Structure 1
Amino acid sequence: MHTMRKLASLPSGRRAKWVVLALWVALLIPALMLAGKLGDVQENDNSAWLPGDAESTAVVERAEKFGSTDTVLALVVYDRPGGITSADMAKARADAAAFQDVEKVVGEPQGPLKSEDGKAIQTAVQVQKDKSGWAGINKVVDAITEVGKNGGVGEEEDTGGLGFHVTGPAGYAADSIKAFGGGGGLTAITAAVVVVILLLTYRSPVLPLLPLLTAGGALITSEAVIYLLAKNAGLVVNTQTSFILTVLVFGAATDYALLLTSRYREELRRHEDRHEAMAEALHRSGPAIIASAATVAVSLMLLMLATLNSTQGLGPACAIGILVGLLAMVTLMPALLVICDRWIFWPVKPAYGSAGATKEGIWTRVGNAVAGRPRIVWIGTALALGVMAIGAFGLKADGLSNTDQFTDKPQMAVGEEIKNRHFPAGSGDPVYVVAKAASAEQVRTALSGVPGVAEVSPPVVKGDEAMILGELADSPTSTTAMRTVERARTAVHTIDGADAQVGGNTAIMLDTREAATHDSKLIIPIVLVVVFLILALLLRAIVAPLLLMATVVLSFAAAMGVSSLVFNHVFHFAGADANFPLLTFVFLVALGIDYNIFLVTRVREVALLHGTRRGALTGLSTTGGVITSAGLVLAGTFAAMASLPLVFAAELGFAVAFGVLLDTMIVRSVLVTALTLDADRWMWWPSALFRRQLTPQQREKGTPDLEPAGATAGPSART
């Protein structure tokens, strides 16, 4: 106990606080430079997200000898509802010649090709890919667009009113880069949300700056560490990782700051010396903050068990963000608070010896209401959450087509619709079949007989292997096309000795969906077991962890049910990414347990002195305000993801934000409190606390034999 107190006093020591500040400044200088390079190591190419044993990954490797994996296709589409004119065709031919002068455009464009209905033109352009897949493609597409919209026609005839769009895989990549390019805006919006909520919480114009600066420093340091791991240790990161990391670090780190600052303000009223007050605040709140961060970090690290590389890399990256945020909030934040002295709380500075708020708070009233009929309350609440969870059966998490992945309609989506109206839906983005050269014709015949394959090209042979391209009858990013790929694989896999494998963008999407489904079935049960073990060790009980886990799972199911209804009937989204349920589960379970840890550790602290009933009510009363504020911060930061024009971001942001609010407002305050009151001492079975029998008088006053080991007399030992 003495050692823990000594460690807690280090960041706030009279000299140590300046050392801590200097160390963080020295750390942030190189971290700022390294964090700016994170984009250089991102791998945004869809094939880079797949596991090495996926069939489409194997096709990418086998197809390298055919030169088909180094480029990405840009489809240039022109349209005129009244019919394409000769001037339009002349312009398309002039543009095709000009496209070859655009940097990273390789080979001669294919086309221009007029559609059968005479209302559209299509030109296929190959764009050189960088190692990271998407890097620079948006600039190439912008240059192609500049040529198409402003390039010389070489004809006197007017081509005004001719539509122009760049679609295909390159168009999708370019619009995705622009959508993710709002990351800087996302950071600003997230910071603004944090400031507003902290202003409302603290009612101080200056105090919110400290958590904001600390969280910002934690984000920069996290990005620097992740960059080093991605560059030197093979960690797979992408733009999706970056924006999730931003909201998670700001949200979680600010939560820890709220809990620490709340306890520090209490201790300033009990200690004249602010250094002693901070040491006591860290000693009292530190274990719960550390346990909560550890639970989240461990849960995220379990994503490393995923077969999908994007999910596998997201886990450690976000865990690093959580741990660096924790380190910043238990070192830099205490040092800054102590350096700034009590004036940082202006205009309501906590004076030594002053009393805290005596007015009965809303959470005290909620606790008293729940205490009247706890069993009826928890059964009714659980039933209501169960009804909300029914909507989860309508969740369509089987992947999104490229055109459905945006909340608005970018150039690529418009161009895709036009292309599909006037040209075969699968044109320009075929499936690739790689097989032994000796079986090439047999594979081609089998592929030609697959329903959904519109046309098959002659085999291209290199050495002992051949490549056959198959044009799909449906849009390559549609679920119908993915079913065609499944049929194609069944057809060619049965050819003895052919060693045939099916790949291409549609196959990559299919393998991504199947890998995400596998990951959910594997990781979700493991997360539940690991979090239960952490809670059991922390609370030294079995019943309490089981009940807490049940409430969090029920909260997750309710959040998914409501989210599904909103996605389908309010936002009218086409569906959800295949890994959406897993990511939402991990975030909600880990963060939901966070708040339960904050509450139940306080309940247990009081129960040691006054019994479980008093502990439940006092724990809710004393932590209700700060946990609610923490929940609002976290929900607000995830809701900020809606600023990105991406369906995945909007869905994940809404589901986590709603789930966090549901957990803090209903599950933690009502359901957990009612369960604790109803279970009473059985909550702590089989720990020593369970075996303690308290009389009503002991519960009211507490007794010396129930004083926890190491507690000191006086105000600082009280809750």
Structure 2
Amino acid sequence: MGEPVRSLPHLVGRRLSRVVVLIAVILSGLLLGAGIEAQEADNSTANLPTDAESAVAARVQERLGTAEFTPAIVVFDRGGDALTDEDRDVVQRKLSELQELAAPGQQVFPVLAEDGQAAFVGVPISAETPEEELAEPVAALRDAAAEGLPEGLRAQVTGGPAFIVDLSQVFDGADVRLLAVTASVVALLLLLTYRSPWLWLVPLSVVGVADQVAVQVVAAATQVFGFSTDGASVGITSVLVFGAGTNYALLLIARYREELRLVEDRYDAMRRAVDRAAPAILASSGTVVLALLCLGLADNPTSRNIGFGGALGIATAVGYALLVLPAAMTCFGRGLFWPFVPRVGDADPTRSGLWARVGHAVTARPVVVAVAGTLVILVCAGPALGVKVGLSETEQFRAEPEAVTGQLVLAEHFPAGSSQPTTVIVATEDRDRVESGVARVQGVQRVESAGEGEGSAVLSVVLDAEPASADAFAVIEEIRAVAAQQSPGALVGGPDAEALDASDAAARDQLLIIPLILVVVTLVLLVLLRSVVAAAILVLTVVATYGASLGASWVAFRTFFDFPALDLSVPLLGFLFLVALGVDYNIFLITRAKEEAEEHETKEAIATALAVTGGVITSAGVLLAAVFTVLGVLPLITLTQIGVIVGFGVLLDTLLVRSVLVPALVTLLGRRFWWPGRLSHDGRHDGRHDGRQGSPAGHVAD
């Protein structure tokens, strides 16, 4: 096979390697010590487009001064038993204590349930209180409410402020916990992969530094480009950097070890390894970056934050993998691989190992393998047809915090929307007509005036339907229709309206972003492989993997986790990560197959490619799946669902699609797989059989 074509600067050498590592340490240290603060997202509007009707209504309410205060709800109950006379007396006495914690000039208000089994006290809190400062007043309310209660009576604080605090506390220390678990998983898998007591330390150190640098890069970018971060986006970015960065390191080190068996000088070996691995790494990372940037067109602010942050994280990871890691590896001799030190002239164990046998078995019976693999995917994908999407506010957490349990008590004993009513803003002269019309809407429990100003009136509407449910959405849509008919320009807001607008935005994002991601991935594959057939086959296989993973994960969520639905953002984010990252492994396999096809028949080329890349890609896939599964250490259902779907999908892609189905399809298509590229023509791809030499082995494109 010919010499590789140089694709990147060679920052390795006897002195240069140490200089590069030193510069990287200094620059990384300066950036980590800069203490850059990221712009953080507002949890209350994380999934809400700024131009949504409910978002506009919230801004109008703020301007009118009718939304200056938001109630924290202190709910008292006995777990289904009736409140005693003593309980009612205690609630009355609590009013004076809770009044001291209310916003100045505002009155607390007690409400007794009609069934006599619960009571709640609304405590107005200033809506202008920053989210990071809400923890103190909510904690004070919880302490005051719980103090001195009779045996069996419990007090819980729920409502908007409590939900914000409990959601924020999910991520308290999450970055440290997530980093520790992720690093431990990566370290263990690297140790098992290399079976060396110290080799794993080099890639882990480089990727770990890249992860922390990426945090600072994203923080700086939020100050310049106007996007923001939250706990979810930071966690996903960290997982992407660790997962993708370690994958790139595995591929580079595998190629480096291969070259060490061919050349004596380790610096020459690394130069050859970088030249041969870099095109595939750059193509795969470029695909992920472009796919993540597609999220910049999303209406959902959280999706946009994940897209921008993730793209910067991947760019940082690939920079460290291709510039810093080669220098760090070459600072040490061949002994770094001890006890399995590669020597010049050693036989390549991958040529006769497990994946060589798999490759020969697959290419010997491609029809049987392709049919069997397709059937497995179809069976797994079947349940995806029944997937439900949309979690209510009380369904966001795996473990139920106090805000959730308190809300459940409210829903059991009071009208469902009593703690977080819907708001309708209309022209003052239309108020009576709108109030009358809205009161007649089925599902509306009561309507009352909530203030006016600047020619507008605000109505407060309590719904009977469970918050953020399909029934609540239907009522909101009916209220909007009635209000718009009676008062053109009317606005309907509040938590249920916000949930409906977020759901509509998620649906629009899927219709726009998913086709765009497919276009981006297809274009990258066309440029890289110069083959329409290859691009189409690879895209179809990763889409099929997503469908199979979604279906299988949905069965697991319903059977083992008892999740009622997927979060709004999960289908889109799961698709992006699985398609973009799944294409990575196909790129690693097919670029090597194309390299081999310069000198061998397509059947032999794909078998050889699977033999030499199977081990490293499988290790990379298992590692990436494990890293995504680490998202489950956080008690937020959204991250758990993303972790499971992507983790299972990566394993499916690594162990079945990339290792069995794709090689079988390539074998069946033969040279037609490369159409219309030069390799698809008769005899042109086989230098041994027609006496012509193929292009140098380092090429990954014609």
TM tier relative to shorter chain? over 0.9
| Matching residue of 2:146 | 149
Q: 1:624 to 1:130 in 2, by over 3 A?
A: farther
**In the TM superposition, what is the alpha-carbon distance from 1:330 to its structure 2 partner?**
0.7
Deviations 1:676-697 (A, max 9, x none): 11111111111111124169xx
Q: Which of 611, 630, 633 is the aligned partner of 1:640?
A: 630
**1:15: which partner in 2?**
15
Partner of 1:524: 514
Secondary structure at 1:414 match in 2: helix
Q: Confirm or deny: 8 A CA contact 1:433 1:500 kept in the other structure.
A: yes
Match of 1:326 among 306, 309, 318: 318
Report whether the alignment pairs 1:73 with 2:46: no
* CA deviation string 1:294-325 (max 9, x = no partner): 00110111111112222122211111111111
| SS, match of residue 427 in structure 1 | coil
Q: Does 1:456 align with 2:443?
A: no
Residue 379 of structure 1: how far off its partner (Å): 2.6
Given the alignment of the two structures, is residue 432 of structure 1 paired with residue 432 of structure 2, yes or no?
no
Are the structure 2 counterparts of residues 148 and 544 from structure 1 closer, same or farther at C-alpha, using a change threshold of 3 Å? Answer: same
Q: Structure 1 residues 361 and 387 mapped into 2: Cα distance closer, same or farther (>3 Å)?
A: same
Alpha-carbon shift at residue 9 of structure 1 (Å): 1.7
| Mapped partners of 2:229, 2:203: distance in 1 | 27
Sort the Cα spacing of 1:569 and 1:2 in 2 relative to 1 into closer, same or farther, 3 A: closer
Measured in 1, the distance between the counterparts of 2:546 and 2:117 equals 50
Distance (whole Å) between structure 2 residues aligned to residue 23 and residue 224 of structure 1: 18
Distance 1:615 1:8 in 2: 29
C-alpha change, 1:549 and 1:185, in structure 2 (3 Å) is same
Say which SS state the counterpart of residue 74 (structure 1) adopts.
strand
- Post-superposition CA distance 1:348-407 (Å, at most 9, x none): 22234433327832211211111122123213322331222111111001x101111111
TM-score normalized by the length of structure 2? 0.94
Q: Distance in 2 between matches of 1:709 and 1:338?
A: 25
Q: 2:73 aligns to what SS in structure 1? A: strand
Runs (4+) off by over 6 Å: none
Q: CA deviation at 1:137?
A: 2.7
Paired AA for residue 27 in structure 2: L
Amino acid paired to 1:433 = V
- Once residues 129 and 274 of structure 1 are traced to their aligned partners in structure 2, the CA distance between those partners, rounded to angstroms, is 63
| Residue 153 of structure 2: aligned partner | 162
**Does the C-alpha gap of structure 1 residues 480 and 135 become closer, same or farther in structure 2, counting only changes over 3 Å?**
farther
AA matched with 1:271? V
Distance 1:71 1:216, change over 3 A: farther
Identity %: 37
Matched, 1:705 2:697: no
Which of 254, 258, 278 is the aligned partner of 1:286? 278
**Which sections of structure 2, spanning at least 5 residues, go unmatched?**
none
Distance apart, 1:5 and its partner CA: 2.7
Rate the CA distance shift 1:36–1:70 in 2: closer, same or farther, 3 A: farther
Residue 253 (structure 1) shift:
0.6
Q: Per-residue displacement from partner, 1:642-690 (whole Å, max 9, x unpaired)?
A: 1111221111111000100000100001110001111111111111111
SS of corresponding position for 1:425: coil
Do the aligned partners of 1:407 and 1:646 also contact (CA within 8 Å) in 2?
yes
Check conservation: 1:431, 1:469, Cα contact below 8 A. yes
Q: Are the aligned partners of 2:622 and 2:651 in contact in 1 as well (CA < 8 Å)?
A: yes
* Residue 135 (structure 1) aligned with residue 132 (structure 2): yes
Q: What's the CA shift string for 1:116-166, capped at 9, x where partnerless?
A: 3333221112334568x632333432232122223xx5xxxx723320111
In structure 1, the residue matched to 2:406 is 415
Q: Closer, same or farther in 2 for the Cα pair 1:710/1:351, shift >3 Å?
A: closer
- 1:340 is aligned to 332
In the TM superposition, what is the alpha-carbon distance from 1:101 to its structure 2 partner? 5.0
Tell me by how many angstroms 1:460 deviates: 1.7
1:709 Cα deviation from its structure 2 partner: 4.1
Give the counterpart letter for 1:211 in structure 2. P
Distance 1:364 1:128, change over 3 A: farther
Instruction: Supply the distance in 2 between the matched residues of 1:107 and 1:683 (Cα, whole angstroms).
Output: 75
Aligned to 1:43: 41
Query: 2: CA distance between counterparts of 1:130 and 1:19?
Result: 52
Paired with 1:356 and 1:175, the residues of 2 have a C-alpha distance of: 55
**Structure 2 residue matching 1:433: 3-state secondary structure:** strand
Shift of 1:221: 1.8
1:66-145 → structure 2 map (5 Å cutoff): 66-80=64-78, 81-85=80-84, 87-99=86-98, 101-102=100-101, 105=103, 107-129=105-127, 134-145=131-142
Contact (CA 8 Å) 1:100, 1:106: kept in 2 or not? no
Q: Secondary structure of the equivalent of 1:121?
A: strand
Q: CA distance change for structure 1 residues 27 and 486 in 2, over 3 Å: closer, same or farther?
A: farther
Aligned residue-pair number: 697
Shift of 1:194: 0.9
Consecutive unaligned residues in structure 1, runs of 5 or more: none
2:457 is equivalent to residue 466 of structure 1: yes
Q: Does 1:671 align with 2:626?
A: no
Deviates more, 1:666-675 or 1:485-494: 485-494
CA distance in 2, matches of 1:478, 1:525: 28
3-state SS in 2 of match to 1:334: helix
Matched ranges for 1:624-635 at <5 A: 624-635=614-625
Which residue in 2 is equivalent to 1:26? 26
Distance 2:70 2:189 in 1: 44
Superposed CA offset, 1:264-288 (max 9, x none): 1112222222211111110110110
Deviation for aligned residue 1:48: 4.9
Q: Does 1:204 align with 2:196?
A: yes
Q: CA deviation at 1:409?
A: 2.1
Q: How does 1:538-553 map to 2 (within 5 A)?
A: 538-553=528-543
The CA distance in 2 between the partners of 1:375 and 1:294, in whole Å, is 33
**How far off its partner does 1:476 sit?**
2.5
Question: In the alignment, which residue of structure 2 is the partner of 1:558?
Answer: 548
The corresponding residue for 2:299 is 307
CA distance in 2, matches of 1:424, 1:311: 33
Residue 557 of structure 1 deviates from its aligned partner by: 1.0
Structure 2 distance, partners of 1:23, 1:92, is 65
Q: Partner of 1:475 in structure 2? A: 466
Task: Tell me, yes or no, if the aligned pair for 2:683 and 2:689 is still in contact at 8 Å.
Answer: no
Distance 2:306 2:581 in 1: 16
Identify the residue that residue 400 of structure 1 maps to in structure 2: 391
